Amino acid sequence: MMEENISSLRVASDLGNLEVIRKFVEQGAKESGLSEDGVSGLRLAVDEACANIIMHGYRELSGDIEITITAGADQIQVALEDWAPSFNPLKRASGRDFDKPLDQRALGGMGVFLIRDNTDSAEYQLRDDGGNRLILTCLLQPRVAD
Amino acid sequence: MGEINIRVSQMEGRVPVSVLHVSGDIDAGNHQQLDDKAAEIIDAGAHHIILDLTETSYMSSAGFRSMHKIHVALQATDSESASLKLLKPSDEIRRLMKTIGFDVYISTYDDLTEAVNSF
């Protein structure tokens, strides 16, 4: 079995913590060997997912979000776990009316679009203990042999 | 933590231009500051707005929604030339502008004078 590097961060569900979350993901993604664009993309996807969990999962409730990064040889996975009522952010409509003039667009689903666009897979799981788990995965580019 | 600073300056080109200089990364936690400041200057009569992103490297969808809001508010004014333009967005923000098709409607400039004279 390939060696995996695991790190995690637990923060309160508060939009003011998005910056801390982005920095944590950026560092983990860089260390995993993800490309520069891949790092930016994953950081954005996690930010969008966490913003959704805070605003639409927890709403006014207080609670935590735990972010666990698992970096392996060929992929990096970010698991977002929360203890909010059942909420699947991926089920929110994914706004794809990007060919419409700007003033005719509904922009509600842009975050979900950006989560999917910047990851290789996004999967929601309802945990046995009632919490939510969202797993975002990015594949690492195969390294070119010397 | 997560705060942005916004400063407004006035420039004179062919028309009066308001520049919103944002410093800091724009996300769901702070975009309201941008919404409020933009609404304030549009209410006060600003029709030609430059969003200066020289000191902003990152923007989530919340920032793009703010941009959308400003664009729509300017379209609703009685000035035909009312519009929003961007100054020096980061490579990442430029890439996202393209991905979500904002680049067709909101022009981007690397030089403030050029941006001011483009209205």
Residue A54 and residue A15 in contact, taking contact as beta carbons nearer than 8 Å: yes
Residues of B in contact with A113 (CB under 8 A): 100
Q: Please give the pLDDT value at position A133.
A: 98
A38 three-class SS: helix
CATH number of the domain bearing residue B88 = 3.30.750.24
| CB pair distance less than 8 Å for A37 and B95 | yes
Q: Where are the domains of chain A?
A: 5-139
Q: Please give the pLDDT value at position B3.
A: 85
- Beta-carbon contacts below 8 Å between A and B: 72
Quick one: tokens of B34? 């941008």
Kindly report the nearest CA distance between residue B9 and chain A, in angstroms.
26
Q: Please give the pLDDT value at position B30.
A: 97
B32 Cβ contact list (under 8 Å, min separation 6): none
| CB pair distance less than 8 Å for B60 and A51 | yes
What's the CATH number for A5-139?
3.30.565.10
Domain count, chain B: 1
Tell me the residue range of the domain where B103 lies: 5-117
Closest CA to B116 of B72, B86, B73, B89: B86
| CB pair distance less than 8 Å for A111 and B27 | no
Quick one: tokens of A26? 């950026």
Residue to test with chain A: of B30, B31, B61, most A Cβ within 10 A: B61
pTM of the model: 0.94
- Residues in chain B predicted with pLDDT less than 50, given as ranges, are none
| CB pair distance less than 8 Å for B106 and A102 | yes
Residue B30 and residue B3 in contact, taking contact as beta carbons nearer than 8 Å: yes
Q: Please give the pLDDT value at position A63.
A: 96
> A101 to each of A123, B3, B72, B106, how far by Cα in Å?
31, 31, 11, 11
Please indicate if any CB of chain B lies within 8 Å of the CB of A15: yes
B109 three-class SS: strand
Per-10-residue mean pLDDT of chain A, 146 residues long, equals 85 97 98 95 98 94 96 96 94 74 81 95 94 97 59
